């Protein structure tokens, strides 16, 4: 089997990275944009010792699960890998992803519940992070997601999984940035001004916080005072050209925009946001309502991108905490302490630990405005915090990033938890690994519940309930 060889194959299964699986002479081939039970003609794109990758060049006989792509750019945009598959079947695949991870990585033969679907499967995404570049000849600003397995930007002008106003805001930025002397970023040469456009929306208020990530350090920028919409001059284009004036122009042109921030990141890195953010116009947050609590989300605040689906997760976790009488709760990797705040009214007390200081500051505001007095906040690394205390909690809620928890975190969590661990994960593989470790220490997995947070992608959110 060589690169560019063509074959007719049947797709036998689906991988947890959103690719169809076929076999040629016993060798596994991963096929992009193929669905289980498809009969397709493929072209080999690269080979390795034990497998090959391929793309579809013709659908000979489509699977019953294949449907019209959610978007015309689905095949080239790397975002919605499952966007050509019937939604109900997407849910079955995601359950399979969790089952496979539990058995293959964790050696866990636990019952996996059916995936709880997202209440919205379009216009659900309330966080958009578009990389930006500029064409060599026409100098047009391009912004969108990367093509699959590349850093080539697909210039996206319409995305069905995000609110339509986001398309309008980003198009305004693309079109008008050059008028303010702002250039697009050249990743290879590390030159140009605008690296990313980040839009954070609110399902509750319909407002959006826009952040322009600039290839500069803060000390090179004269910080303007944040302006209200009423305080803007009548003709913003008469302002001096530059990032500050452009940020105010964005704010002035969209009533839906609650504020515009500038973030500064002049490092050669794939990390999107730098350490410093300033608010140029309006507010530096949007408000989101989950259950009966209102949260403030800033430019660098971690918060789920699909609030409606997130609400299902918070309900599920809260119902689990309700099984205990007035428990003490540790909320680790807390972000803006969403879980801690949600369960505060059914808990004796809650400790929320988050190393991002700006998230803790936002959480403090939420506590004040909701008159919550039984939640303690610590701007600290989870392990360092746990090693500094002697107390035990009835319940620990873990909500780590994709890489999961270190063994050290799990060890300390076990030392400081007396009854139950509720583990919220966005990566079945690392969840399975961590559950395997907890089981080896005598814990028992009571329940595993997947949720569809990221519709049309291979990502799945999972909550595992573990008795200590």
Of the candidates 304, 277, 295, 135, the residue with the CA atom closest to the CA atom of residue 210: 277
CA distances from 385 to 140, 184, 282, 353, 412 (A): 48, 41, 35, 8, 10
Give the span between the Cα atoms of 212 and 261, in whole angstroms: 6
d(CA 367, CA 293): 10
Phi, psi of 243 (to 5 degrees): -60, -40
> Which residues have a Cβ under 8 Å from the Cβ of 148 and sit 6 or more positions away?
32, 76, 78
Separation CA 30–CA 52 (nearest Å): 6
> What are residue 424's DSSP bridge partners?
463
Catalytic residues: 426
328 vs 346: CA distance, rounded Å: 10
Structure tokens that stand for 285 in this block: 């947050």
Rg, Å, the chain Cα set = 24
Q: How far does Cα 296 stand from its chain's mean position?
A: 17
In 3D space, the residue among 413, 293, 306 whose CA is nearest the CA of residue 351 turns out to be 413
Q: Which two tokens stand for residue 331?
A: 């909320």
């Amino acid at each position: 089997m060589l690169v560019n060889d063509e074959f007719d194959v049947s797709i036998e299964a689906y991988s947890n990275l959103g690719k169809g699986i076929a076999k040629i002479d016993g060798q596994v081939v991963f096929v992009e944009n193929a669905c289980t039970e498809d009969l397709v003609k493929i072209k080999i794109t690269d080979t390795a010792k034990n497998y090959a990758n391929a793309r579809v060049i013709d659908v000979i006989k489509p699977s019953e699960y294949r449907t019209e792509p959610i978007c015309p750019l689905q095949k080239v945009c790397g975002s919605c890998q499952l966007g050509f598959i019937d939604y109900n079947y997407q849910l079955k695949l995601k359950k399979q992803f969790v089952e496979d991870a539990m058995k293959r990585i964790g050696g866990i033969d636990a019952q996996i519940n059916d995936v709880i679907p997202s209440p919205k499967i379009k216009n659900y995404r309330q966080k958009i992070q578009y990389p930006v570049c500029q064409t060599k000849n026409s100098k047009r600003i391009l912004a969108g997601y990367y093509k699959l397995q590349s850093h080539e930007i697909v210039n996206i002008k319409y995305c069905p999984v995000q609110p339509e106003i986001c398309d309008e805001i980003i198009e305004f930025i693309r079109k008008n940035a050059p008028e303010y002397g702002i250039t697009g970023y050249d990743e290879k040469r590390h030159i140009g001004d605008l690296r990313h456009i980040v839009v954070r929306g609110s399902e509750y208020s319909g407002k959006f916080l826009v952040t322009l990530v600039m290839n500069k350090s803060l000390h090179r920028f004269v910080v303007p005072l944040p302006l209200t919409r009423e305080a803007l001059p009548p003709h913003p284009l008469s302002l001096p050209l530059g990032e500050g004036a452009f940020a105010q122009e964005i704010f002035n042109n969209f009533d839906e925009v609650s504020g515009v921030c500038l973030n500064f990141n002049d490092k050669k890195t794939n990390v999107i946001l730098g350490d410093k953010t300033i608010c140029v116009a309006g507010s530096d947050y949007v408000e989101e309502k989950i259950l009966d609590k209102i949260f403030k989300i800033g430019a660098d605040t971690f918060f789920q991108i699909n609030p409606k689906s997130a609400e299902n997760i918070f309900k599920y976790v809260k119902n689990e905490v309700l099984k205990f009488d007035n428990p003490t709760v540790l909320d680790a990797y807390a972000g803006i302490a969403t879980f801690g705040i949600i369960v505060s009214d059914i808990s004796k007390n809650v400790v929320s630990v988050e190393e991002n200081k700006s998230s803790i500051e936002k959480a403090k505001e939420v506590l004040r405005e909701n008159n919550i007095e039984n939640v303690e906040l610590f701007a600290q690394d989870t392990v360092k915090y746990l090693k500094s205390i002697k107390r035990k909690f009835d319940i620990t809620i873990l909500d780590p990033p994709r890489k999961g928890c270190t063994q050290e975190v799990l060890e300390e969590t076990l030392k400081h938890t007396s009854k139950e661990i509720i583990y919220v994960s966005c990566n079945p593989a690392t969840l399975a690994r961590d559950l395997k470790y907890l089981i080896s220490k005598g814990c028992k997995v009571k329940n595993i519940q997947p949720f569809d947070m990221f519709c049309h992608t291979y990502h799945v959110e999972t909550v595992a309930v573990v008795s200590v």
